């Protein structure tokens, strides 16, 4: 008698895919340049977090994925849209990324996360007035998980440089400048600027190259490729643990650098982190 293999239905026992919402209309930053007058802007620390948009019901990533935040985390949030970042603190991006990417939230991991709000995008007010409106709104809320980003008034480029030095010396990433009279615009423009003592960019790992000397038996450098096809070796910025378990080929990483060489390659390039943000 002819027999047939027993076929059982496949049961998916893992978490569901993250929910999708409409991608938020985010305002994006241009680069600060010397011709900009710091006195025209309100300045805040550039947080090393994950961009998030509160649509009045859910926290959504820049790509439109709904963050699986616990109900108690967002329970006290207002019905109006807010623009901000999910943040754990300076130097904790990798830890935060792991927390917010989970399809099912681990509640204890969310206890230290804060939604740091820096704008009120639905308002037609100029930015300086939106900050005041945010302060009034925050005063009516009863939640420890929503905080407002602090904005500074600076007089000139020297004061801006001093604040940048202070933030970076304390482990911060850089500064954001928002024009006092600007309206919220879902595009990249000169009303929102970013300023860092270094530049950063992304590349894809092509190969892991063996180390020598102290790094013998570990990864010595990564051969990486930028989106426009430039290839170079990235050999600094790694911990010993990262050298023992380096990013695999195909991984997208972020590196820091200071300007470019005459041949167009990044100068003083240093590994920063694996890119793990939601799309």
Asked if residue 220 lies in contact with residue 234, where contact means CB atoms within 8 angstroms, the answer is: no
Whether residue 46 lies in the annotated active site = yes
Q: Which of 2, 46, 150, 194 is catalytic?
A: 46
Q: Comparing C-alpha atoms, which of 105, 102, 112, 114 is closest to residue 49?
A: 114
Q: Comparing C-alpha atoms, which of 91, 195, 92 is closest to residue 152?
A: 195
Q: What is the CA radius of gyration of the chain?
A: 22
52 vs 99: CA distance, rounded Å: 14
The residues with which 66 forms a beta bridge, in sequence order, are 60
Give the N- to C-terminal CA distance of the chain in Å, as an integer: 54
The residues with which 225 forms a beta bridge, in sequence order, are 204, 231
Catalytic sites, residue numbers: 46
């Amino acid at each position: 008698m002819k027999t047939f293999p027993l076929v059982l239905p496949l049961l998916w026992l893992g978490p569901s895919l993250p929910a999708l919402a409409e991608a938020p209309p985010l305002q994006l930053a241009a680069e600060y340049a010397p011709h900009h007058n710091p006195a025209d802007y309100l300045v805040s620390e550039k947080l090393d977090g994950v961009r998030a948009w509160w649509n009045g019901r859910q926290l959504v990533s820049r790509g439109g994925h709904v963050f699986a935040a616990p109900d108690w985390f967002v329970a006290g949030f207002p019905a109006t849209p807010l623009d901000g970042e999910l943040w754990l603190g300076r130097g904790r991006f990798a830890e935060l990324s792991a927390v917010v990417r989970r399809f099912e939230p681990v509640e204890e991991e969310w206890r230290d996360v804060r939604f740091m709000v820096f704008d009120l995008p639905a308002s037609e007010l100029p930015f300086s007035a939106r900050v005041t409106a945010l302060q009034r709104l925050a005063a009516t809320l009863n939640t420890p998980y929503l905080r407002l980003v602090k904005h500074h008034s600076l007089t000139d480029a020297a004061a801006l440089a001093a604040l940048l030095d202070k933030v970076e010396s304390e482990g911060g990433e850089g500064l954001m400048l928002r024009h006092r009279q600007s309206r919220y615009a879902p595009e990249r423009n000169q009303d929102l600027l970013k300023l860092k003592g270094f530049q950063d960019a992304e590349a894809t790992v092509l190969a892991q190259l063996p180390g020598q000397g102290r790094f013998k038996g570990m990864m010595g450098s990564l051969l990486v490729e930028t989106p426009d096809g430039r290839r170079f070796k990235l050999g600094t910025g790694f911990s010993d643990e990262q050298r023992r378990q380096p990013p695999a080929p195909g991984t997208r990483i972020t590196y820091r650098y200071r300007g470019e060489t005459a041949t167009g390659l990044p100068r003083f390039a240093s590994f920063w982190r694996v890119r793990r943000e939601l799309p």
